[in-house]
Amino acid sequence: MAEETYYCLITDKDVKIAIADIDFLIASDSEPVFNAVLKNGEVCENIRKASFGKESYQGSGITESRSANVSIFPNPVKQTLHITCTESKKRSFEIYSTNGSLLRKAESDGNTTTLYVGDLPEGKYLLRTESTSLMFIKN
């Protein structure tokens, strides 16, 4: 296999994120950290310091990790966002705007939850739960 090169953001925890995979960055208003939101909806949180580099690897692609414990649909959404969790336990959900403002909180103790988002303006939002952040688009 041929050696390939990609440009990346390297976090303070030595996590390397391909620049092509980053959708946008969100800075915190209250702490000196930022989050990198990836095009697949995954979020790298609480980055304090980062640098840019050029990495090489063998093969034809970069392996992505995905969160398997929470999924959302439909995405994009117009009215109702459906959330499915692999574990049935009490958890809270928070919806944030792309500038980091908390817009909504909800709680659930089952595997499935629905959240009404029809009143939100069109745009990108983050749904956060204990260990997972997912991006969704409101149309």
- Band (64; pLDDT cuts 50, 70, 90): very low
Mean pLDDT of the chain: 80
Other CB atoms closer than 10 Å to residue 139's CB: what's the count?
Answer: 10
Question: pLDDT, tens digit, for every residue of 9-22?
Answer: 888 887 778 788 88
- CB neighbour class for 60 (10 Å; exposed up to 12, middle 13-18, buried from 19): exposed
70-138 classified as CATH 3.40.50.300: no
Tens digit of each residue's pLDDT (9 = 90 or more) over 86-139: 877 888 899 988 777 889 999 988 888 899 999 999 988 988 887 677 888 899
CA proximity to 29, closest of 98, 115, 128, 123: 98
Q: Does position 68 have pLDDT exceeding 50, yes or no?
A: no
CA distance 103 to 93: 11
For the chain, the structural domain boundaries read 3-58, 70-138
* Euclidean distance between CA atoms 29 and 96, whole angstroms: 13
